[in-house]
Amino acid sequence: MSLTVTNRPGSIPFGEGPDLPRLSGPGIRAFLNLAEVWGLTLDEQRALLGGVSRSTFTRWKRDRNALLTVDQLERISHILGIHQCLETILPSAGRTWAKAPNDGELFQGNPPLRHMIEGGITGLRRVRELLSAERGW
């Protein structure tokens, strides 16, 4: 048995269609707002987005607009999903959770933010899956 994935007639692959310009501005603005809530440093913000250069990131912060890559939008999606889960399961501690030491098996005493940065997009995905499971999703 073979599994074949085909696009629907008339569909445009995500990275090639109009979604990037449409989602980039709102995505970076949501990320910047959340970074402020979490108290992230400039370097932490840049690292979470995959190592964006300081000059590019400074321009994004000033203009609050950007043309992001698919990878950067996926990272932002995971970060927003993590925040959404935290607001549900830890509403009073959700804003400090990412930077607090965590004895959970995934984090081994380190802050979850470290796992999210060092693990790249896979680390972000794992943290989101962990919190989604805790949330019951």
8-49 tens-digit pLDDT? 445 445 555 568 889 999 999 999 999 999 999 999 999 999
- Going by the DSSP 8-state scheme, the letter that residue 17 receives in this structure is S
Q: What is the pLDDT of residue 7?
A: 44
69-90 tens-digit pLDDT? 999 999 999 999 999 999 999 9
Indicate whether 125 belongs to any domain.
yes
Indicate whether 1 pLDDT > 70: no
Distance CA 93, CA 91 (A): 6
Q: What is the pLDDT of residue 137?
A: 67
Distance CA 124, CA 105 (A): 15
Mean pLDDT, the chain, whole residue set: 88
Question: What tokens does 37 get?
Answer: 């809530």
- Contact (CB, 8 A) for 67 and 113: no
Indicate whether 44 belongs to any domain.
yes
Indicate whether 35 belongs to any domain.
yes
Average pLDDT over residues 50-77: 93
Indicate whether 92 belongs to any domain.
yes
Indicate whether 94 belongs to any domain.
yes
Indicate whether 13 belongs to any domain.
no
Indicate whether 131 belongs to any domain.
yes
Average pLDDT over residues 55-69: 90
* Full domain range(s) for residue 84: 19-135
Q: What is the pLDDT of residue 18?
A: 62
Indicate whether 2 belongs to any domain.
no
Number of domains into which the chain is organized: 1
Read off the pLDDT band of 4 (50, 70, 90).
very low
